[in-house]
Chains A and B, each alone.
Chain A
Amino acid sequence: MGRRAKNKQGAPPSLDAFLDKKEKKTLKPEKKSAKPARAAPAPKRSKSRSDEGLRKTKKARPDEETIPDDLPEVDLEELASAKKTLFDDDEEDAADLDLEDNDEYLDESDEEARARPMFSDDEDNDELENLNAENMEAFSKQLDEEEAEEAEEAELELVQGAAQPRAKVLPSAEEEEEMAQKPLDVTSVRTRMLEIVKVLENFKELAEEGKSRAEYTTRLLKDVCEYFGYSEFLADKLFNLFSPSEAMEFFEANEVARPVTIRTNTLKTRRRDLAQTLVNRGVNLQPIGAWTKVGLQIFDSQVPIGATPEYLAGHYILQAASSFLPVMALDPQENERILDMAAAPGGKTTYISALMKNTGCVFANDANKARTKSLIANIQRLGCKNTIVCNYDAREFPKVIGGFDRILLDAPCSGTGVIAKDESVKQSRTEKDFIQIPHLQKQLLLSAIDSVDAGSATGGVIVYSTCSIAVDENEAVVDYALRKRPNVKLVESGLQIGKEGFTSYRGKHFHNSLSLTRRYYPHTYNVDGFYVAKFKKTGPSTHDITKSGAKEKEALARSEAEEEGIIHDDFAEFEDDEDKELIDKTIKRSMKRKGINPNAKK
């Protein structure tokens, strides 16, 4: 994709060229039919080519003088088309798509290659006249060579085209002041962002004299905050995870909702039967991809997908594609005892239960009592008979019960991977969250490790996952656990897709085996941002029989963190003012409930 993107950005087609291309697309079928019989219709082909070429001379010439500056539009298109997804079609479809893609690509590069050396047309025609059966092969070879040469030249030109005059992208101080007065001009901000990204990608050649990389980055971050509505802190945090252009893709992807997906409940039905019934109800769907046998992607539906008789009968559950992954990594076996430490609303728990075919035992825990309601609802609706739902702080394990074969910890997190689902994350997350949440996650993960039976014949596995992409909540937590519990190691997650976890990030170095963990981004796989790590417990530790509950663990972790200077006194303190407001509100509400007017004076 990288190459394609570069090609395109180097010499973007103007409006006319774009229209021309469109026209050509309509011509494409004709061209295709000419392709297969290569040797014989060589003359014909070159003729049609020269025809096109002629047309091009008329249209394309004027374009060349006006090197256009409507870069952003082109870039957008490119982003969209280049987006890889998890939701590939069946293999044929995918292949089909590829073909089309390639065609298009050929088309474009051909076009550009041809748009330039127009003079070759006359030669072509001359040569055609002395064409006969003997020299046909040589002739077609020569044609091929010419073509290759042209393509090469075109490429060269594209590369050189990138070296445009060093455009002034950053606004001056006065301009910035002016901007502050006026309301936000969305298109100009967008254009500027894309231009800055371009400069950052090739800083040596495109940067303005006397401007530093930091200046560009700050401006870009400011624009990102304005345009997408992130808080500065979060924008910076997310931006640092990616290269500039990838970060832009990521921010763009967060503005688009992920596809609706459902999971077949294999306890009650099969995917094929379910798909058939739903199609009969007017639902347009398709298998998610080759990597899962139970997922279906919903395109559109004439009936509410969360209220069909099949839904009520528990034949499927609405579940994001990304939350299949940790369960697939967990790989539950029949007759095991498994714990899901943060289970609500039960998508993963029911998947575990289904994979175990209702044998063994699944503990579904959630710390939030209100959320256990939806958890129970889903468990009962999907007919999972081997579950126990409990409402503990998960740090209480293994005091409650230990010795599990497998544990899934889908930890509570900041939700930076699901910004598309929950916009409030953009503003609400602060620096404090990125200390507090990992602090809790570390304790949870240690509890999970201690609750697993290392001697389990089939398991001894812990899977840690979050729907966040921040390193603090993922690699850092996993690395911490590896340091604190030498009796666990990371193992292959067994997932076919995903990017490797970071082994070093901004000066921090993690354990080498962190490359076995998996990261998922919205812009690369079109799933929610996600992280999965799979541990195997190799031996028992002294902590396995710990009788300490959540409070003791919290105190221990806190003193440790304070020693390291990570947290300070203000960590998780009560804020009296805020509390007073809330207390007042509650009092008022309870008075109203009793029928007393809270505003009335006594």
Chain B
Amino acid sequence: MRSLTEEETKVVFEKLANYIGRNISFLIDNPTNPHVFRLQKDRVYYVSESVAKFATSVSRDRLMALGTCFGKFTKTGKFRLHITSLPYLAQYAKYKVWIKPNGEMPFLYGNHVLKAHIGRISEDIPEHAGVIVFSMQDVPLGFGVSAKSTAETKNMQPTAIVAFRQGDIGEYLREEDTLFT
């Protein structure tokens, strides 16, 4: 376990900025309960500083996880967000999409968000921006990338895709074998 290098930090933050924009500052600056990013094997964990200190007493090959996993570095050095980061993404989300109950299950099975399933949508989403998908009860279900800007989606077909799925909570079941170790 170690803290991220400057380069790694840049890659991670660029990815995060897609979804939460300037709200990243809330992740880093929290004077009452400071949090840090830690890299263990290829995974990036976000955890409170005090917990991270305790984790130093666990040897590298025995430490399986700590705090919240944000995602992993691929072998090519890119950073891929995991669904486990959703609580933080949802908390600081910039753009949101709410889907109707009849769209919940299709989304949780790994499908993209269709126009027909949209219940509400943030007003100012540009094209290809990161969006967080919520149910109508405000339960975060996943995240994705918008296909078109909000204005354009108004005149789309019901079967057209509004947002491309990147992660959904169904992965807890579907990807159980690969998601965590």
Contacts and interface: CB of A to CB of B under 8 A. Distances in A.
B6 to A, nearest CB: 25
Contacts of A387: 51, 65-67
A388 interface: yes
A136 B10 CA distance: 97
A373 B177 contact: yes
B159 interface: no
Interface in A295-342: 307, 309-310, 312-315, 337
Contacts of B50: 361
B75 interface: no
A380 B169 CA distance: 11
A376 B181 CA distance: 9
Interface in B134-168: 135, 137, 139-141
A363 B62 CA distance: 12
A400 interface: yes
Contact of B68 (A313, A372, A380, A390): A380
Nearest to B87: A383
A385 interface: yes
Interface string A232-276: 000000000000000000000000000000000000000000000
Contacts of A369: 64
B26 interface: no
Nearest to A379: B65
Contact of B62 (A310, A312, A380, A391): A391
A451 to B, nearest CB: 12
Interface stretch (B11-19, B52-60, B115-123): B52-60
Given A372-B64, A380-B69, A392-B62, A400 B108 contact: no
Judged by DSSP, the binding face of A is mixed
Given A312-B169, A400-B58, A372 B181 contact: yes
Given A309-B135, A309-B141, A312-B170, A376 B64 contact: yes
Given A309-B141, A312-B108, A391-B64, A373 B54 contact: no
Contacts of A556: none
Nearest to A380: B84
B161 to A, nearest CB: 21
Given A312-B172, A385-B47, A386-B51, A401 B68 contact: no
A390 B87 contact: no
Contact of A390 (B64, B172, B176, B181): B64
Interface in A42-99: none
Contacts of A312: 108, 169-170, 172-173
A430 B181 CA distance: 35
B66 A309 contact: no
Given A277-B137, A309-B169, A313-B141, A377 B64 contact: no
Interface residues of A, number: 32
Contacts of A225: none
Interface residues of B, number: 36
A278 to B, nearest CB: 13
A310 B63 CA distance: 29
Contacts, number: 95
Contacts of B135: 309
A361 B53 CA distance: 10
Contact of A377 (B48, B55, B179): B179
B137 A389 contact: no
A381 interface: yes
Given A313-B141, A385-B67, A373 B62 contact: no
Contacts of B48: 385-386
A310 B50 CA distance: 31
Contacts of A381: 84, 169, 172
Contacts of B47: 385
Contacts of B140: 313
Contacts of A373: 176-177, 180-181
Given A385-B48, A385-B67, A377 B137 contact: no
Interface in A350-378: 361, 363, 369, 372-377
B67 A386 contact: yes
Nearest to B135: A309
Contacts of B63: 388-391
Contacts of B104: 309
A455 to B, nearest CB: 18
Given A313-B141, A361-B50, A388 B181 contact: no
A371 to B, nearest CB: 10
Contacts of A310: 139
A338 B47 CA distance: 17
A466 B154 CA distance: 59
Contacts of A391: 62-64
A388 B141 contact: no
A313 B169 contact: yes
Given A309-B139, A377-B172, A401 B54 contact: yes
Given A309-B135, A376-B181, 10 more contacts: A312-B172, A312-B173, A337-B54, A361-B54, A372-B64, A381-B84, A387-B51, A387-B66, A388-B63, A391-B64
Return the 3 tightest CB-CB contacts between A and B, nearest first.
A312-B169, A376-B180, A389-B64
Interface of B: 47-48, 50-51, 54-55, 57-59, 62-69, 84, 87, 104-105, 108, 135, 137, 139-141, 169-170, 172-173, 176-177, 179-181
Interface of A: 277, 307, 309-310, 312-315, 337, 361, 363, 369, 372-377, 379-381, 383, 385-392, 400-401
15 contacts: A309-B104, A309-B169, A310-B139, A312-B172, A313-B141, A373-B180, A380-B65, A385-B47, A387-B51, A388-B51, A388-B58, A389-B63, A389-B65, A389-B66, A391-B62
